[in-house]
Amino acid sequence: MIMLCSHCGNKTSLMDRGGYEHKVSFFNNEQDKFTRKKTAWHVFERVTCSKPTLVENDYGTDDTDIDNFKNIVIYPFPVLFIGKADRPATPCRHAIK
């Protein structure tokens, strides 16, 4: 996987260092059957700066199309690199000191 690093700002590849899957079974009243929801977390190491990245994959239920799962970066918080930021990316009502 290749992503923009939120630590150093470089576009780099990631090495998978570990992960965990969580499955929950529940009864789907609409379909009158038991369904499973699967969520997985993976820890990746950045090749350029060796910093960690935590990614959450929400696969949804058994009926969800495999191409439609959500891939969310949990850590570090995604930021937009445009060079050095002298002001916040979102409007703030209060001054930053």
pTM over 0.85: no
Q: Give domain status of residue 92, yes or no.
A: no
Collapse the DSSP code of 67 into the 3-class scheme (helix H, G, I; strand E, B; otherwise coil) and give the result.
helix
Q: Give domain status of residue 65, yes or no.
A: yes
Domain interval for residue 48: 2-75
What is the model's pLDDT at position 34?
84
Q: Give domain status of residue 91, yes or no.
A: no
What is the model's pLDDT at position 92?
55
Domain count, the chain: 1
Query: Quick one: residue 22, left, alpha or beta (phi over 0 = left, psi -120 to 50 = alpha)?
Result: beta
Contacting residues for 10 by C-beta, under 8 A, at least 6 apart: 4, 48, 49
Q: Which residues pair with residue 60 across a beta bridge?
A: 38
Quick: pLDDT tens for 37-61. Answer: 888 999 988 888 888 888 888 877 7
